[in-house]
Amino acid sequence: MSCSLVVENKNYPESVIEFTNYLGTIKNKSKNTITGYKSDLGLFFKFLQVHKNSKKYSNIIDIEDIDITNIGVRFIQSIELKDLYAFMNYLENERKKKNGECARARKVATLKSYYNYIFKKAKIVKENIAEELEAPKINRRQPSVLDINDSKHLLESLDSEDKFYQRDYCILTLLLHCGMRLEELTNIKLVDIKNDVLTIIGKGSKERKIYLNDTCLKVIDNYLQIRDDSKCDKENKKFLFISRLNRHIHKNSIEALVKKHLGNAGFDLDKYHTHSTRASYATMMYNAGIDVETLASSMGHSVSSTTRIYLNINENNLRNVSKINPLNNL
């Protein structure tokens, strides 16, 4: 079966709608997380319609044309573990370009969460068949990071004559100094900054405070002096960063401008990207002596094990650990 699919259909089976409502109201999951879960489950059920009814859908060219709104309890109860593996095989062999290891692992997590809900909460099924579903192994590469000199070089490479110099300089400075996520940066509103405290809403709608150092306060002030919101509507005026189109800047625009400046500064774009700023922040702070638990809190991680993924620990620090071992020189 060779089908192309981008799940944009907002019509889902009743169990999926109830599940995502549960994620939002009870589990307090973010809008983006819920959208991802719905997209994954939409693809899953569209695939199953073809997989389990191949004759009925033999003339379907685009799997997106398949209606899944009428999928009910009986169909869900007919799904077996082998069908889940058939779905994963479909992703691996026919949609690999759009579904790498991380994307497939997320879909496994989606199925596990969904089946946990319909087994324990909705009680639609008598057993949780997804409990045995295994996620693909993810080969995590240590993220490429900018050290102190690299960070200075990046900031100094910006063209001070450019119309958006102060804005872009402020964006890069906050990313490097605060280690925030792109979406957190784009959603900063003017009222979120009070003295040296920046309040942001992170993943899972969790609020956290970032304490701005003197450099951050200075670049924000420099940007605000030239920030022009005269052509913005009332809603867009609220946001700190404004796009060329006089709107609240989108995270895709941030990603593009960071990539542009990295390229202009001579960094290899196959190794360095927007997320490198977050990894750079984590590594620099850790190497400066900040413990992982404190670092996790500053980055909005609920567990420190997530923070460790970002760390590119300085080799000199590792060498020093070896030297201060009490058994050394015995």
Cβ atoms of residues 168 and 155 within 8 Å: no
Q: Is 250 a catalytic residue?
A: no
Q: Give the residue range(s) of CATH 1.10.443.10 domains in the chain.
A: 148-317
Is 193 strand, coil or helix? strand
Catalytic residue among 90, 104, 278, 281: 278
For residue 199, what is the enclosing H or E element? strand 197-201
Question: Which residue among the candidates 46, 177, 181, 248 is catalytic per the annotation?
Answer: 181
Catalytic residue among 208, 259, 275, 308: 275
- Fold exhibited by the domain 14-132: DNA polymerase; domain 1 (1.10.150)
The amino acid occupying position 328 is N
Per-residue pLDDT of the chain (330 residues; tens, 9 = 90+): 444 333 344 589 999 999 999 998 888 887 878 888 999 999 999 999 888 876 665 565 567 778 899 899 999 999 999 999 999 988 888 776 666 777 888 899 999 999 999 999 999 999 999 988 887 765 555 568 888 999 999 999 999 999 999 999 999 999 999 989 898 999 999 999 999 999 998 877 788 899 999 999 999 999 999 999 999 999 999 999 999 999 999 989 999 999 999 999 998 888 888 888 988 888 888 888 888 888 888 888 776 666 776 665 554 554 554 455 555 554
On the 0-12 / 13-18 / 19+ scale of CB atoms within 10 A, 140 is exposed
The span from the CA of 10 to the CA of 99, in Å, is 21
Return residue ranges of the chain for CATH 1.10.150.130: 14-132
Top-tier CATH class for 148-317: mainly alpha
273 is catalytic: no
Catalytic residue among 52, 95, 106, 203: 203
Question: Is 165 in the active site?
Answer: no
- pTM over 0.95, yes/no: no
308 is catalytic: no
The answer to whether residue 261 is catalytic is no
- What's 13's DSSP letter? -
Q: CA–CA separation, 285 vs 289, rounded Å? A: 7
Indicate if 275 belongs to the active site: yes
Cβ contact 307:301 at 8 Å:
yes
> Quick one: DSSP state of residue 133?
P
